Structure 1
Amino acid sequence: MTAAQELAADVLAVLEEHGQTVAAAESLTGGLVVAELTAVPGASAMVRGSVTAYATEVKRDVLGVDGPLLAGRGAVDPEVAGQMAQGVRALLGADWGIATTGVAGPTEQDGKPVGTVFVAVAGPAGAGGVRELSLDGDRRSVRQESVRAVLALLLRELTENAGAKDTEHNGGNGCLQP
């Protein structure tokens, strides 16, 4: 089992324990994050879906990322990653939203070198965060490490914010119990 597969299984186990759901917004990973999650048996109870927002317009028009932010900084930006995670969480009605955006190569993008990646998590009660990665390797390895990193960030948020409750409860069974 790979590190990403183990993380996906751990993430889903914690989500199931808390009766919570997740949705993914992926750019450079192009669906690899949700593929890892949905490879785990029983994932359908926790995975709401995903948006592969490869094009900048999709980030803006579907996920609700701020247009002037995209125009000014480009898609490879920590605030963009955070807005992608928040956007997919709201769009797909999930308790947690996760996002990946970055440069897998072979050339730089928006003045950012290959291996520059931002992963983000947005969750209940303002939980979440963004992590910047500076990865070495070819396109394949940058994408794989990005998958591992966003799942690790989500797992950390889930375990550190285990008591976080979402008063609007986006997804899950629709019932919050103390």
Structure 2
Amino acid sequence: MNLIEIGTLTPSAQTQEMLAELLVATVAAGGSVSFMHPLAPQTARAFWEKSLAAAERGERAVLGAWDGKVLVGTVTLLLDFPPNQPHRAEIAKLMTRVDRRGSGVGTRLMRTAEGLAVEKGRTLLVLDTAAEDGASGLYEKLGFTLTGEIPDYALKPHGGLTGTLIYWKRIGPIS
């Protein structure tokens, strides 16, 4: 594996296209990231257009993992919460190219997102992952605590129901 660079993604047609391709491939491989298979490329591009616009407004940060000019992974840090929750952030849409899974890309993305959350003054991270074929092992390895499972939470991309596992982690200095 070449040196992976992690950075904040900004809106551009090329970035949106690469993100869309990653999202379509993730869903096709069974990744439970809120979409059903088959996912139309235009639907994926529209999702990322909205997501990157929200990032431009400071409501979230979309991080990308690059191997040269190839986008090999992404994660979103949600930052827009009600006034009584300024201390927390949420991890969403962690995706790694199928051929790069298990190579440390997801870990690097998660650590960078956590560091960014601390920089933004957040002290609590939350996330959820599919009970079947989700990334629970990764999250637990990174110190997240399982709160519990909600059964039959969502449809799997190829059909059938799966539960979701809810995780949390304290980060940064607690005030």
Verify same fold: TM over 0.5: no
TM-score, normalization by structure 2: 0.29
TM-score, normalization by structure 1: 0.29
Point out the structure with the larger helix share: 1
Structure having greater relative contact order (Cα 8 Å, sep ≥ 6)? 1
